Each structure stands twice: as C-alpha cells, then as structure tokens.
Amino acid sequence: MTGRALARADTPAAADALCARGRPLAGATDLLVHGLDGVRGELVDLTAIHDPRPPVERLADGRVRVSATAPISAIARSPEPVPVALTDAIAQFASPQIRNRATLGGNIANGSPAADLVPPLVVTDAVLGVRGADGRRSVPVGEMLAGPGRTTLRPGEWIEYADLAPVPHSGFRKLGYRRALAVAVVSLAWSWSPGSPRSGTEPGGAVALHDVRLAAGAVAPTVVRCPRAEAALNTLDATCVDTAATAVHDDIAPIDDLRASAWYRADALAGLVRELAPAATRQLREGDTAQP
Amino acid sequence: MTRETTQGTSRAPAHTGVVGRSLPADDAAAIVAGDLEYVTDRRVDGMLHGAVHRSAHPHARIVSVDTARAASEPGVVAVLTAGDVPCNQLGTDSENGAVLAGDVVRQVGEAIALVAAADPETARRAADLIEVGYEPLPVVDGPDSPAPVTVHPRGNVAGTLTFESGDVATALSSSDLVVDVDTTTSAQEHVAIETPGGMAEWDLGKITVWCGSQNPGLHRKLVAHALRLNLDDVRLVSNPVGGAFGSRNDDPAPVYLALLAWHTTRPVHLHLSRRETIVAGPKRHPYRTRVRLGFDRAGTLRAIDSRAVADTGPYVTAGRNVLKTSAELSSGPYAAPNARFDGTVAYSNNANAGAFRGFGAPQVAFALETAVSEAAVELGLDPVQIRRANLTRPGDAHSLYGHTVSRSLRASQTLDAAAAHPWWRDRDAWAAGSAGPWRRGTGIAMAIKGVGMGSGKGDTARARLIVSATGTVNIWAGPNHTGQAIGTAYRQIAADTLGIDHDRIRVHVGDSELVPESGATAASRSMYAGGSAVHQVCGRLRAVLDEPGVDTGASFDDVAAHLVASGRAEYEAEFVLPDVDDIGRIPPEALADYAPHAVYGCSAQVVRLEVNTLTGEIRLHGVVCAVDAGVAVNPGATVGQAEGGVAQGVGFALFEEYRLDAGVPVTTSLENYLIPTAMDVPPIETVLVTGHENTGPFGAKGMSEVVVVPTAPAIAAAVGSATGFWPRHLPMTPERVRAGLSAMSGEGTSERSGRRSAAERARTRARPENMSAEPAEGAS
C-alpha cells in the first residue's frame, strides 16, 4: 500500500545499478525527521556498502579523501586527521546517535543551505567523487550546490567521497537555537594560512593572514563563500575585523523564515566574523595539532 | 546534588519511619526496564483503531462533510461526525467547544470526524479521505485582532477579573520610583512524552476508558454528558500515563474513545501523533502582562498594578481559572499596601490554551520579578535586599485580597537559602571572568504558588482503606499518578501513620471504579490533598489499633486477621482543604470567584549564565532552586520535581514558543518547536528549605508548580546583569537578545524584540523557501 521499498547496496557497483532506478539514501536522518509519508518508490541504502578502506585516507598529493557514506562519527575519530573545520562541524552536528548514522554524502545531497558539513568542505576546496551507472566524475563542492534542497547530482548519481585540500588553520562555528539537535541559524567555516612563514606576526604585532577563506551557512540559497569579508581580513587587527564584519553583509542574501529574520542572520554572521579574531590568534599561538 | 538547610523555626513532629526518606518510585524498575504497560500500550483481541479528521482552517463555516469515500474503504467500521454525538458538547456551554465540530471550526486541528477501522493505517487513510467543504471566515489572530468578526456570538471576551485594594493610582503618583514593565510570554507546549490516547470498551451498558487523565472525575462527566450516560456507567482508568503537566486536565481524547467504542460496540484504540498533539492540544496561555510598581526611595513597595491579557484560543476550558491564579499571584510573595489587578481572557482562532504547570503564575511572575529586579538597579539596592524587605510574612494579609496567608510560608528563608549559595555569593567573581564576547551574569527571582483549588471551592480528596486478612493494607486514593510517583508518597504517609512497614501497604490510584472521587492531579495538591486523605483514613485505623486489646503486640498478620474477623477492616475518610482563616476584602458570597489560598509553596532561584553579545546566545551554567515544600515526604521525588520544573522553566525562558501565522500553526513538530535537550539544562542544585504546614500530612505542602515559575525571570535578570539589556519577551531567543543589545547600543534597530515586531510578522508570513527546502532530490 505504501509503494515504498528499501534496497541495500553492498558494493559500489551494486549501488550504481540500484541508483539507476531508486533514490539514494545515506543515513536517512533527515528523511526520518520529515516522515516517510510522501516517500514513494525504491530507496537505496548506501550505508550498507562494504568498503574495506578506512573512512579517511591521505592521498599522494597531500589531500585527504573522506568517505561520503561512512558515519560521520567514524570520520571524527579517524586516525588519519581531517581539517579541524570538519571535525568541529561534526562535533556540533545533531546528537551522538545521529552522528553514528549520518553521512557526509547525505548532508551534501540533502541540499540544505544550513547543512553543517558543507561549509568546511567549501573552505577546503573539496572535490566530490560522484558516480553512477553512467560512470564517474569529479565535482567541486561549490558546483554541487544549486539551491535550497537542490544539487547538480544527475539522476542515478551518488556521492562516494570528498577530497579535501590541506589547510593550515581552520575551524567551524554553528549558531543553533539550542546546544544539540538544532538546525543552524547561521554557521561559519574558515581557513587561512599565516601571512609570514615564521610566526605569522607582522612587525608591530598585527597578525597577518594569507589565503583566508570563509564559508557561511543558512544565509543564502546555498552555503556561500564570503569574498568581500575574506578580502578585508589581511590582518587580525580591530580595523580589519570591523571591515570584514561590515563587508560580509554584501556576501550573503539571507531571508526571513521560521527560525530567524534576515536581519538577525546577517547580524549574527557579522558577530561570528568578529569572533574570528580571538579564535585565529589562539590558533596561531597554540597551533593546530590535528591539521593534515 | 541536593543540599538541605535547616532554616526556619518550626519543627516537624518527630517521626522515625519512612516519611522524609527518598524511597524509589514504586514503578521505577518497571519504567526503566520498559515493563510498564502505559494506557496507550493496551491491546485486546478484536479491537478497532481510531483516527481523527481535523480542521484545516483556523476559522470557517463547515458547508459540507462528505464521508462516503472514507466509509467505503475496506476495513472501515464507523465514520462519526457531529450528528453522531448524542450531546455534542464538551462541557456545560457551547463556549467549551463541541466534541466534533458541526457548523463552525474555530481552530486548525479542531476535530470534525472520527473513524474506526480494522487497523491504524486504514483508519488514518479513511480519515484523510473525509472531504470537508469550508467557507473561510476572518481570523481572529489574537486579543488585538482587528478582525470584523468574533469567535463566539457573545464576543471575544471569555472572562475578566478586576480587583483593587487601597488606592493604586494615588500610591503610584506619590511614589519616588515607578517601574513600568510590559512583557509577553509564549504559548508553551507540554511535550509529555506519551501523546494522548488509550482504549475504550463498551460492555453491558457501561463504558470503560483507559486514557491518561489528571482529572478522572471531570473526564467521566464529559463522557457521560456527551453520550448521555449515567455517571455511574462511565469508568475511567487513567494511568499509567507518560506525563501530563496540565495537558491531561481537559484533553478530549477520553470522549473520542468513548464515542467510538459506544458506536461500534467494540474495543477501540486511539493514539494521537505528536503532530496532532502539538496542533490540536492545549498550550500554556500566552499573556501580555504589564506591571507598574511604585517604590519609595528606600525600596519599600507602595503599589503593585498589573494588567494581564490571556489568549485562550477558541474555547474556554481552564482559562478563567488560569486568570484567577494570575490575579492572586500578581503580587507574588510581596506585601504592598495598594494593589490592583485587571485581567482579561480573550478568545481567538489561535491554539486552545488550558492548564499548564504554574497555571497563570509564570506569566505574571515574569513581569513582576523583572520589575522588582529593575527597581533594584534603579534604586541601587541589592536584588535580595529589595525582595527581603518587601516579603509577605507568615500570617500576613495578602496584598491584593487581604486574606490571611498560612504561617507555613517560608518566603524569607527560601530567598535566603538561594542567596546563600556560592553561585549567588560569588557573582562578582563570576562576572569578572567574562572573556571576549561572552559576558557573565547572575540573576535571582522567586515566586509563590497556592496549593489546591482555593477557598470556597469545597476542594476535597478521599481515601478508602481495607485491611486484608493476610496483613496487607490496601489503600485507594487520589489524586492520580501522572509521573510524579505520588503513590509511593502515599505509602510513606500510610506507613508512618499506622506505624507499620511500608512493604505491607499497597496504594491504588487512577481507577474511578475503585478510587473515591478526589479531584484533579493539579494545583500542586496531590501531596497535600491526597496525602492528607491517606493520613486521615490511616488515622481511623490507627485509632482502632490504639484501642486496648486490638494491637496486642502480636505480628500485624494476626492483628489484621482479628480486624477482618471483627468487621473492623474497612475505613473511609475525606479531607476538605481548609479555606483561608480570614477572607480579607473578598465579599463572602464571591469567595469562590477569587478562590484565594491559605497555603503556598515557594521557590527562589539563582541563575548564572553567559551571554554572547555578538550573537545573543545564552549559555546557562547553573541554577539553584530553593524550595519551600514544608516537610518533603520523599526528598528524592521532591528534588526530581524541582529539577523537572527548572528544565521546563528553562524551556519557557529560552526556547519554547508555539507560533501561528494568522491562525495557521507553523511550529508543528519537535524539529521546529524546540525544547531543552540534556545539553541545554545546566547543573541544578536543589535546596529543600525546612518548614512545616500544620494542615498538611506530616507537615507537607505542594511544590510541583512553583518550581517552574522563577526560572525565566531569574534568567532574564542574569541577562540584565551581564549586559544591561533586560528582556521583556519570552522566549529569550538569540535574535531577541541580540536585537535588544543592538537597540540599547543605538545600532539603529527599532523595537525588534517585540513579540509582534514587524520583522517577526514578516518572518512568520515568509515561506521558508530559502531554509527548509522541498524534499531533497539526492540522498539524505
């Protein structure tokens, strides 16, 4: 009566074949929140794929390959480190039970502008390994995001992994309305390199930054980079941070919705940008031990 | 962690038994093991399954109801509409609402039809196949609605209550300081873990309903009235139930169940979904409360002036009584020579509001306590000092009504117990540790709440006792158990009254066929009222035991056998809650209209927290909950009530807001109606203040509601101390806090923290196209 079935793919090839006719599913943690009432047809469970490889692998070119179908809790405890922005985001994702089911691929393909794991992928220039019965292709994460609930995945395709570029310093901050099990009202991932190779500190004490990347969630139809704010963050002095916090308003297009007004989203994101200064200073002082 | 203080002067009588010990709840092992069968778990052979068809419109005339498709679904046994209800009314007048709406719907989610079918899926599908034709009417979306229609022919005012003592206007005009605080509080959802439902069976002309209820007596009357049955032919088995908090006080589910079973003459099971419960179930009344306090320069309170408007939704159930409680508690624990209350309960096409833990107290207390805290700042006084100086003392006259307050009130000791905690004493050191955008603050607030239904109501609890020949003492008593382990406390009271081991005592609650009518599990009355009835019925047996020659020193088995053989094994007793000694300014004939209390529980709470000034986020670091419960019969259970109350208070303060857009619910699941998680509830330190209520069992009085009340104003005061911004609107979301901070620092925003600010109106109207997307195309 329900017109619904679940198929389990035990190999990537089997997943390719099943996804040609069914809808891929990798964790189903969001599906269950919204209920199965409107779901019809065949669902293909990608989390049943038996993969002998670890969830995180270091590639020869220095990037890390992160499984898109492994539970994200496995990524967080992987011996092979991933950028701090991603582990931070996993730590702030839903609840421990959901982190044991949810996957990177599911979070990307769900297409939510508030997806917690997408901003870290954006600041690490992640390239997604996508496949299906018609073959494989590589898609930069920014090209995958098409709008609320929409991606550029083609019918039959699924996401197998994400390759993340190494970044010296990164982090993620989520602003939800409670401390667990809450959709982000605003989120911000960042990465940067020290401006000078030795200490990162310019003469006069201001911290110089290089290759700053900011990616904000829940402030536009997709997760977005914030180029104007990034450009303003040359150093970590108060003027720069003020300029960046002001500039970030022009990087985003928030809306009013159930959770927050556009005004608050923009205001709170500017607040998160301002919070970066102490966070960056601390990272430079203490160093990131978990960087790849 | 619990700390007990020994403040207070009165002494409990010495008792060496189990009263005062933290016995585990009788059902605890079964509950944690999953063995307990709740009412919604009940299944019998041949039962049918019910489902409800509900209104899609907040306000509309019903022009047609077509049940043909639903009725022709295979497996469907009955489809019932308004015409199938013998007396289609949920109470004594039409403003209480119909069992099934026939002519007009006044709320989204209002029940229009019931279905019984062979399985739950068929019942649900058939309910969805019912086609209702509507002619939409203008929506009354709140007390200020400009809609050109009224919810009921009589108008939109469900009730008013005004009272004044002294001359408030003159006192305010001659005060050195007048603090004027205009607040709003939200519609809060109970979120009992078990959603409403259960089973009903019609057998030999009698209906039995197994359904959670805090008020079996009321539910029996509602069922008997709707089905035109004799009250004696309605039996309600109302537990075990998975939580209530007020939501099972006048829940219509028992009537739906009875109607389905009566029509089909088969057992029918019905279990509402969470979404149905949120959309159609009762809420805490959202209030707008304005308080003006007049002080002299030294901080002495001269006048309290309160105006409250409550939105009760489309039908009035508890609304008028909720307003009554607001009036009585509008002066809180404070003594003022002049006091005025002016309150209105208004109809709307919003959620129906009903009973909820605190029952009108949290709304007015938020305004009052915020005003007191702000007055302390204005006058340069310590927040504890200004409160202590103005407290109502035991035996004093109440500020508004002038009735006598019980000598057991320990408001001063409760305040001192909270303020003695290091989290209050060390508040300056805490504030000094602020770092970056996170500013630290500490707040304190307090409240009282009456115990029982109030004077003039004839509030009564009863108990029945039978000694078995094998040495067991069976006691049937009420109020009922809704999760607070009241039966365990009754056993403790019985054991110590009789002077026998508590293992010999069995307490039975929640079955109307066996338990004498004892009123509602409400108004913080179960311990005080039910415990007193148990104490009295055991006192009768004890008097017999004390007769020469009865208790010969033999084992209780032998004594019991003797009692049975001599026809002295059965006892009944009732406890009528005492009215106030002196009714003060209340006209004697109107006593029940104001229903003042003699006995009050009290709580004072301290909150320490951090506020992020860049984002408006609040992180709680600790709550001290000092409670004046008289003697705690079961301290562990009392602490459990306190901690649960604080958690619910945290939700009310920071997260919970049932929202509608022009009468259409928008927060319909626990994904977007947020309650605190374990991560959001901070460490809670409960301090039980020692006291003794002479009219209560072993000195006990009620405390289960008052603990929910001070949390929100204490949090608000802590936010104020951390940032200088004093929240006026609940919940204190990050957006509201940030808007308040930004308005304070002149960043050019308008009154964004207002409950109905332009930004929020826009937000509730906006389609969530950007954020919460259509179903995903890819994996999820």
Concatenating the DSSP letter of every residue in B540-593 gives HHHHHHTSTTTS-SS-HHHHHHHHHHTT--EEEEEEEPPPPS--TTS-GGGHHH
% of chain B beyond a pLDDT of 70: 94
B523 part of a folded domain: yes
Q: Look at B770 and A254 and tell me if their CB atoms are within 8 Å.
A: yes
Has residue B387 got a pLDDT over 60? yes
pLDDT at B92 (0 to 100): 84
As to burial, measured by CB atoms within 10 angstroms (0-12 exposed, 13-18 middle, 19+ buried), residue A133 is middle
- The CATH number linked to B543 is 3.30.365.10
Closest to B449 (Cα-Cα) out of B328, B578, B289, B363 = B328
Contact A104, A72 (CB under 8 A): yes
Residue B27 amino acid letter: D
Closest to B633 (Cα-Cα) out of B454, B487, B504, B465 = B487
As to burial, measured by CB atoms within 10 angstroms (0-12 exposed, 13-18 middle, 19+ buried), residue B119 is exposed
Give the distance from residue A149's alpha carbon to the nearest chain B alpha carbon, in angstroms.
Answer: 5
pLDDT at A238 (0 to 100): 78
pLDDT at B7 (0 to 100): 39
Q: Which among A38, A113, A181 is the nearest to B775, CB-wise?
A: A38
Q: Looking at the 3D structure of chain B, how many domains does it have?
A: 1
Q: Look at A158 and B779 and tell me if their CB atoms are within 8 Å.
A: yes
Cα distances (angstroms) measured from residue B155 to each of B109, B150, B152, B161, B346: 22, 5, 5, 17, 9
**What is the pLDDT confidence band of residue A2, given thresholds at 50, 70 and 90?**
low
DSSP for residue B249: S
**What is the pLDDT confidence band of residue B704, given thresholds at 50, 70 and 90?**
very high
**What is the pLDDT confidence band of residue B250, given thresholds at 50, 70 and 90?**
confident
What is the per-residue pLDDT across B570-583, written as a single tens digit (0 to 9) for each?
A: 999 999 999 999 99
Tokens coding B601? 């529980």
pLDDT at A129 (0 to 100): 98
User: Which of B611, B664, B679, B770 should be substituted to probe chain A, the one whose Cβ sees the most A Cβ atoms within 10 Å?
Assistant: B770
Angle made by CA atoms A14, A20, A21, in degrees to the nearest 5: 110
Has residue B772 got a pLDDT over 70? no
B213 part of a folded domain: no
Task: Decide if A263 touches B, using CB distance below 8 A.
Answer: yes
Give the end-to-end CA distance of chain B in Å, rounded to a whole number. 42
Helix axes B711-723, B734-744, angle to 10 degrees: 40
Task: Decide if A48 touches B, using CB distance below 8 A.
Answer: no
Task: Decide if A38 touches B, using CB distance below 8 A.
Answer: yes
Q: What is the arithmetic mean of pLDDT over B502-515?
A: 95
pLDDT at A237 (0 to 100): 78
Angle made by CA atoms B9, B14, B15, in degrees to the nearest 5: 135
pLDDT at A278 (0 to 100): 77
Tokens coding A193? 């390199």
% of chain A beyond a pLDDT of 70: 92
Task: Decide if B617 touches A, using CB distance below 8 A.
Answer: yes
Q: How many CA atoms lie within 13 A of B26 on its CB side?
A: 20
pLDDT at A205 (0 to 100): 54
A residues 72-111 lying closer than 8 A (beta carbon) to B:
95, 103, 105-106, 108-111
Query: What contacts B238, CB < 8 A, 6 or more positions away?
Result: B39, B210, B211, B212, B213, B214, B216, B219, B248, B480, B510, B511, B512
pLDDT at A3 (0 to 100): 79
**Of A228 and B746, which is predicted with more confidence?**
A228
Q: How many CA atoms lie within 13 A of B329 on its CB side?
A: 33
Q: Look at A95 and B677 and tell me if their CB atoms are within 8 Å.
A: yes
The three-class DSSP label of residue B187 is coil
R_g over Cα of chain B: 26
Give the distance from residue B738's alpha carbon to the nearest chain A alpha carbon, in angstroms.
Answer: 8
Has residue B766 got a pLDDT over 70? no
Query: What contacts B59, CB < 8 A, 6 or more positions away?
Result: B104, B105, B106, B107, B136, B137, B138, B139, B140, B149, B151, B349, B663
Angle made by CA atoms B290, B343, B190, in degrees to the nearest 5: 85
d(CA B304, CA B286): 21
d(CA B120, CA B737): 45
B525 part of a folded domain: yes
B264 part of a folded domain: no
What is the per-residue pLDDT across B443-452, written as a single tens digit (0 to 9) for each?
A: 999 999 999 9
Q: Hey, which of A5-9, A49-53, B111-115 has the most confident mean pLDDT?
A: B111-115
Is the bond leading into B13 cis (omega within 30 degrees of zero)? no
d(CA B256, CA B246): 19
Contacts of B764 in chain A (CB under 8 A): 258
**What is the pLDDT confidence band of residue B553, given thresholds at 50, 70 and 90?**
confident
B residues 119-138 lying closer than 8 A (beta carbon) to A:
121
A residues 273-292 lying closer than 8 A (beta carbon) to B:
274-275, 278
The three-class DSSP label of residue B241 is coil
Give the distance from residue B749's alpha carbon to the nearest chain A alpha carbon, in angstroms.
Answer: 10
Q: Helix %, strand %, coil % for chain B, to 5?
A: 30, 25, 45
pLDDT at A40 (0 to 100): 84
d(CA B518, CA B541): 20
User: How many of the other CB atoms lie within 10 Å of CB of B373?
Assistant: 26
pLDDT at B406 (0 to 100): 87
As to burial, measured by CB atoms within 10 angstroms (0-12 exposed, 13-18 middle, 19+ buried), residue A100 is middle
What is the per-residue pLDDT across B70-83, written as a single tens digit (0 to 9) for each?
A: 999 999 999 999 99
Q: Which residues sit opposite B474 in a β-bridge?
A: B466, B506
What is the extent of the structural domain holding B506? 28-36+460-576
Task: Decide if A37 touches B, using CB distance below 8 A.
Answer: no
- Mean per-residue pLDDT of chain B: 93
User: How many of the other CB atoms lie within 10 Å of CB of B275?
Assistant: 15
What is the per-residue pLDDT across A107-125, written as a single tens digit (0 to 9) for each?
A: 999 999 999 999 999 999 9
Tokens coding B322? 């909720």
Q: Look at A267 and B742 and tell me if their CB atoms are within 8 Å.
A: yes
d(CA B356, CA B197): 19
Closest to A123 (Cα-Cα) out of A221, A195, A225, A252 = A225
User: How many of the other CB atoms lie within 10 Å of CB of B61?
Assistant: 13
Contacts of A218 in chain B (CB under 8 A): 771
A residues 158-187 lying closer than 8 A (beta carbon) to B:
158-159, 175, 177-183, 185-186
Contact A200, A208 (CB under 8 A): yes
pLDDT at B747 (0 to 100): 64
Give the distance from residue A110's alpha carbon to the nearest chain B alpha carbon, in angstroms.
Answer: 5
pLDDT at A206 (0 to 100): 61
Residue B125 amino acid letter: R
Q: What are phi and psi of B719, to 5 degrees?
A: -65, -45
Query: What contacts B405, CB < 8 A, 6 or more positions away?
Result: B392, B394, B395, B396, B397, B398, B598, B600
pLDDT at B524 (0 to 100): 95
B510 part of a folded domain: yes
d(CA B608, CA B682): 9
Q: What are phi and psi of B305, to 5 degrees?
A: -125, 115
CB pairs under 8 A between A and B: 169
B494 part of a folded domain: yes
Q: What is the arithmetic mean of pLDDT over B630-657?
A: 97
d(CA B449, CA A236): 54
Contact B643, B684 (CB under 8 A): yes
Q: Which domains does chain A have, with CATH numbers?
A: 171-288 (3.30.390.50)
Query: What contacts B92, CB < 8 A, 6 or more positions away?
Result: none
E strands of B187-300, at which residues? 197-203, 206-211, 234-237, 268-271, 287-295
Contacts of A182 in chain B (CB under 8 A): 674
What is the per-residue pLDDT across B176-221, written as a single tens digit (0 to 9) for each?
A: 999 999 999 999 999 999 999 999 999 999 999 999 999 999 999 9
d(CA B642, CA A203): 57
Strand order in the sheet with B505-508: B505-508, B473-477, B460-467, B570-576
Closest to B195 (Cα-Cα) out of B41, B53, B33 = B41
pTM of the full predicted structure? 0.94
**What is the pLDDT confidence band of residue A235, given thresholds at 50, 70 and 90?**
confident
Q: Helix %, strand %, coil % for chain A, to 5?
A: 35, 25, 40
pLDDT at B764 (0 to 100): 39
d(CA A105, CA A122): 14
What is the per-residue pLDDT across A27-52, written as a single tens digit (0 to 9) for each?
A: 999 888 877 777 888 999 999 999 88
B731 part of a folded domain: no
Give the distance from residue A232's alpha carbon to the nearest chain B alpha carbon, in angstroms.
Answer: 19
B515 part of a folded domain: yes
Closest to B208 (Cα-Cα) out of B237, B240, B241 = B237
What is the per-residue pLDDT across B303-348, written as a single tens digit (0 to 9) for each?
A: 999 999 999 999 999 999 999 999 999 999 999 999 999 999 999 9
Has residue B228 got a pLDDT over 70? yes
d(CA A290, CA A175): 23
d(CA B413, CA B393): 11
Cα distances (angstroms) measured from residue B716 to each of A110, B42, B424, B608: 38, 44, 15, 11
Contacts of A271 in chain B (CB under 8 A): 437, 612, 614-615, 738
Tokens coding B116? 């019984």
- Mean per-residue pLDDT of chain A: 91
Query: What contacts B645, CB < 8 A, 6 or more positions away?
Result: B357, B603, B625, B704, B705, B706, B707, B708, B711
Q: What is the arithmetic mean of pLDDT over B634-662?
A: 97
Tokens coding B236? 């309600």
d(CA A177, CA A188): 15
